[in-house]
Amino acid sequence: INTSARSKSVMDNPSFDDFGLRLLSNDLAKVPGKKAADTIHTQLEGKVQLVRWAHPVGSQEPSHIFVGSSKGRKSDLGVHGVDWDQFTATSKNEPLFPPSASLEYAGDLTSFCNPTDQAFFLVANSFGYVSIQELDEKALKQDIEEQKEMFDDEELEEGMYGRQRKRYPVLTAKIPFPVLHAKQQSSVSRSPTPWRPHKTEITALDMQHPNGKTILSTSDNGDIHLTQIQRRDSPEKRSTKCPITDAVWSSTGEIYTVGMGARIDKWDKRMELKASSSFVKDSRMFTCCTLTEEENTGTVATGSEEGAILIWDTRNMKLPLCTSEAHNGPVWRMMFSPEKPDILVSCGEDGNIISTDIHNLNGEGTITNIVAREFLSYNSVDIVDIDSERGWLVAGSDSGKIRFVNR
């Protein structure tokens, strides 16, 4: 990475603090009786490696969010309740409750999967382990409700990021490797089921939709495993023989992997996982990918080490449809908006969160807008669309900041 070029780009940034920038439009989300905030944030200790909304079935506000952060050689995954009363233009209070459960892992948290219709989530680490954690939705909801009653105005204290909730100690219980500690285990299982599908770092986790019974995992040595969740000792295996950095699974069974050499492979499950490959000469490596699907077609987006975003039509992947030089460094994660699939949101090493409008691919090309800026890298981004009018983006950075942006 060209650090001098990156530093100059940051110094030239006219809105370095990024406060007040909006995501996709100039309209505020419509919340009955309240005016929604454009952007709010909270601050955690350590680097934020991943953030994921819980994705409830149907149009409703998710009750909680998953936050993975690193502290030295260990990582922590917290399940935080979301205080939706704070997502207003007048509120300056912290939007997240202290974690209802907190799991401490060895190494880095490299991938996460929370199936929509399942009461469990999967976490992968840099040593090749995966843990399956059962989530007690009823206990979690009860804990969040109790926290809402506990944290009234008198228990808020002034901090550098507004009025913050006091941090109360939580219980600790030891559970098997790779999870080192579990705090306040009322809502997450005490006995996770870790196994080691790969010998090296796991780079992607996904579950086939709609059945939710098979786990896709990839590693940085090029291995691809398809594992039945009830029969984890006999996975179906394939290999690209070059490092894989990310993967996504379509609803019709195709698997898309990206990695070293700016290579994208399409694996057709109906043809016994045979791959067709495409390469881009102007890039050294693809760093991430995502997928959106419509009737009879799909669109894959890939992010490169150089900061480019490439758009591919799944029906013909010999060449990308469009390329956008969006970031000034590696693109770490991207996601299509569920309600507005023409909008792609990405984050990267340059500290930018960028929205890309791919609607005019055959006209004016892509239109990119900077959503938020930060001096340090944004590592993870996720979107929840509550309905066609309301939605929120969440992103986490190396500075420990978690930013929420109204779409």
Task: Report pLDDT digits (tens) over 298-325.
Answer: 999 999 999 999 999 998 888 888 888 8
Least confident of 65-74, 189-198, 264-273: 189-198
End-to-end CA distance of the chain: 31
Q: What is the tens place of the pLDDT at every residue in 327-355?
A: 999 999 999 988 888 889 999 999 999 99
pTM of the model: 0.81
Rounded to an integer, the average pLDDT of 247-258 is 89
**What confidence tens digit (pLDDT) does each residue in 81-120 have?**
998 888 877 776 788 988 888 888 888 999 999 887 677 8
pLDDT band at 28 (very low <50, low <70, confident <90, very high): very low
Model pLDDT, residue 377 = 94
Q: Residue 177: pLDDT above 70?
A: no
Nearest to 384 by CA among 18, 53, 131, 24: 53
Instruction: Kindly provide the b/e burial profile for residues 123-134, where b requires at least 16 CB atoms within 10 angstroms of the residue's own CB.
Output: bbbbbbbbbbbe
| Confidence bin at 170 (pLDDT 50/70/90) | very low
Distance, CA of 140 to CA of 299 (rounded, Å): 36
